[in-house]
Amino acid sequence: MENASSHRLFILDGFSELGGLRPVLFLPFFIMLVLSLLANSLLLYVIISQRSLHSPMFILIAGMACVDLSLPLFFVPNMLLSFLFDWRGISLIGCLLQMHFIHFVASFQSTLLVWMAVDRYFAICSPLSYHQRMALPGFLKYIIPLVIRNVVLVSLFVGLAGRLSFCASNVMNHCFCEHMALVQLACGSTSINNLAGLLTIFLNPVADFIFIAASYVVIFSSVLGSGKSGVRALHTCVTHIVVITVSLTIALVAFLSYRIRNGLPAGVRVFFSTMYLLFPSCFNPIIYGVRTTEIRQHILRTLMWCHLVQTAPCS
């Protein structure tokens, strides 16, 4: 008779091992949130305000900044309130909505890097037809399939999670509604949920990484015999490789820690799951702002202008 009722309210109990020290986590996560919001807002402002940055590559970087700006807002404010005021409750509907928004937006972190790899491929390997290929009508054939893939995969595993019955416990060892953290609370078989989660992992970040790696092998091969212009164009590719390698490493540790027997403490598992979402939001704008010469120059000019405005004497 235990299966007759299913929990509709859950307790987010991430980092509970810290006990009375749990509120201390407010400060580092608050600093990361502020850094993410400020850095991505500045990056977006610079790209939107400068006509010279309205090329396809910089528009894609602006798209990445939009993702990195919005993603923390879906879970970090609630997490901070939980640390300070011990507000840990969330309804099943709220949990599923949060899960859908988080995973859907996060799926575009690697998808945007795929589109950037396509952009670099056309810019380096077929520069004469670059503008024609990167025009929106032609580029849509690279955009639409990946958007549909992300929608289908996320809707699939969130929908399957919503059909589960949760009769064992309503305490989720996490700071937000992570898919496997919720599935682990279900009674009955969850094999189809595990399969859907693994399918999402390998058809989204892993498949994207393989595509990007393959495209860059082709790009590197074509650049070997080229001159200075090819080497300069290759500089952006190195940035993308750094970003996706770090992101994929954190993502695989976070995802597979729930599926492979390991000695990871629960707090470490929660930390990696949180960093998978939050770290790229802080890391990406700094990487693109520092390593991309055009963006770095405009950011410095913007900051200098703001400084001059603040220090100018009132008339």
The runs of H, that is alpha helices, within 21-91 are 26-49, 56-70, 76-85
Rounded CA separation 86/89 (Å):
9
Tens-place pLDDT, residues 290-312: 777 788 887 888 777 765 666 65
Number of separate domains in the chain: 1
As beta bridge partners, residue 90 has: 10
- Contact by Cβ (8 Å): 36, 75: no
2 domain residue, yes or no: no
pLDDT of residue 148: 96
The β-bridge relationship of strands 171-172 and 9-12 is parallel
pLDDT of residue 315: 45
Rounded CA separation 134/140 (Å):
9
Q: What is the per-residue burial (b if ≥16 Cβ within 10 Å, else e) of 22-58?
A: beebeeebbebbebbbebbebbbebbeebeebebbbb
3 domain residue, yes or no: no
Q: How many degrees, rounded to 5, is the angle at CA 76 between CA 72 and CA 78?
A: 135
pLDDT of residue 186: 87
pLDDT of residue 219: 83
277 domain residue, yes or no: yes
pLDDT of residue 102: 93
172 domain residue, yes or no: yes
Among candidates 201, 171, 174, which has minimal Cα distance to 271?
174
pLDDT < 50 stretches in the chain = 1-4, 315
116 domain residue, yes or no: yes
List the domain range (segments joined by +) for residue 182.
8-300
115 domain residue, yes or no: yes
195 domain residue, yes or no: yes
Query: Which percentage of the chain shows pLDDT scores above 90?
Result: 30
109 domain residue, yes or no: yes
CATH value at residue 165: 1.20.1070.10
- Contact by Cβ (8 Å): 123, 130: yes
- Contact by Cβ (8 Å): 31, 113: no
- Contact by Cβ (8 Å): 201, 156: no
